[in-house]
Amino acid sequence: MSQESMKLAAGIDIGTECVKAVVVGDDGRVRGRAVAPTRGYFQTCAHEALASACEDAQTDPAALAGIGTTGFAMECVANASVRVGDSSCHALGAFQQVAEPMTLVDIGGRDPHVIWVDDLGRRTDARGIRRCALGVGSFLMFTARHLDVPPSRLQELAAAAERAVPVSSYCSVFSAGEVLERLREGATREEIALGCIQSIAERIVEIGGFRDPLYVCGGVVDYFPGVLTALQSLAGVPVRVVPDPIYTAAVGAALMSLRQGEVS
């Protein structure tokens, strides 16, 4: 099928840390993608990410058959053709990529979820983390800032640690306080980096219900791959990553938009 005859839709996942946009063809393939940090007005970030994704896909935004939005600020895109909650989008987006029913762990800027996905890409159940452990992505950003490394280097620091110092609070704000206390007590940056990463994995494992195959998606595994390593050691089943994990919900939103086009 030529690009001209193909229907294209965009998906935008407007999260608390980043806005992710994709352009997806009606064959399900991702044609363009872009990430913009969340800052200032959500509308502006969404517009910026969408424009970049369209440029990456070499398509004109006016040629899109629809725009699906999801995530924290999904209401902020005025011209969206469909708005869908993020767990359903994660489920469909991940299913599109891996084509099998799964247990899916979404670790984004806010609250991690374990989502059970059936053989049609539908969410059949979902469980969240306890309330005080919200904001794990934001917590890791905080940690990286205090350890004076770019977020993606937190993993390198952690890999060099001989041991993890415990960062054990349930609450992200308390944990942030613990990071400062451990630094004051003389713990190394490496030990703290590993401790933080492990604490996130522990909170997620507590949600429970993991069954094989287990996949992970969301921005945290892109930015902080150490969380994946820690999860692999704790989960009790093999842990795989959905390709392009930061875009999973955006892909789901784009597919929802294409589907809606089929119905109407």
Give alpha helix (H) positions in the chain.
42-57, 86-98, 136-146, 154-159, 172-184, 189-207, 219-223, 225-234, 248-263
**What minimum distance in Å lies between the beta carbon of 127 and other proteins?**
7
**What minimum distance in Å lies between the beta carbon of 133 and other proteins?**
11
* Shorter beta-carbon distance to other proteins: residue 88 or 175: 88
Interacting residues with other proteins (CB under 8 A): 72, 82-88, 110-111, 122-128, 130-131, 134, 209, 256, 260, 263
3-state secondary structure of 117: strand
**What minimum distance in Å lies between the beta carbon of 65 and other proteins?**
16
Nearest partner of 25 among 254, 253, 246, 261, judged by Cα: 254
Instruction: Please count the other Cβ atoms lying within 10 Å of the Cβ belonging to residue 48.
Output: 16
**What minimum distance in Å lies between the beta carbon of 104 and other proteins?**
12
Both tokens of 231, joined, read: 């999860």
**What minimum distance in Å lies between the beta carbon of 183 and other proteins?**
29
Cα–Cα distance measured from residue 148 to residue 178, given in angstroms and rounded to the nearest whole number = 16
* Shorter beta-carbon distance to other proteins: residue 111 or 190: 111
**What minimum distance in Å lies between the beta carbon of 67 and other proteins?**
13
Question: At 250, which amino acid appears?
Answer: A
* Shorter beta-carbon distance to other proteins: residue 96 or 155: 96
* Shorter beta-carbon distance to other proteins: residue 51 or 171: 171
* Shorter beta-carbon distance to other proteins: residue 61 or 128: 128
* Shorter beta-carbon distance to other proteins: residue 153 or 259: 259
* Shorter beta-carbon distance to other proteins: residue 131 or 184: 131
**What minimum distance in Å lies between the beta carbon of 77 and other proteins?**
13
CA angle 55, 94, 70 (to 5 degrees): 60
Long-range contacts of 126-130 (CB under 8 A, 24+ apart): 126/87, 127/207, 127/208, 127/209, 128/207, 129/203, 129/204, 129/206, 129/207, 130/170, 130/203, 130/206
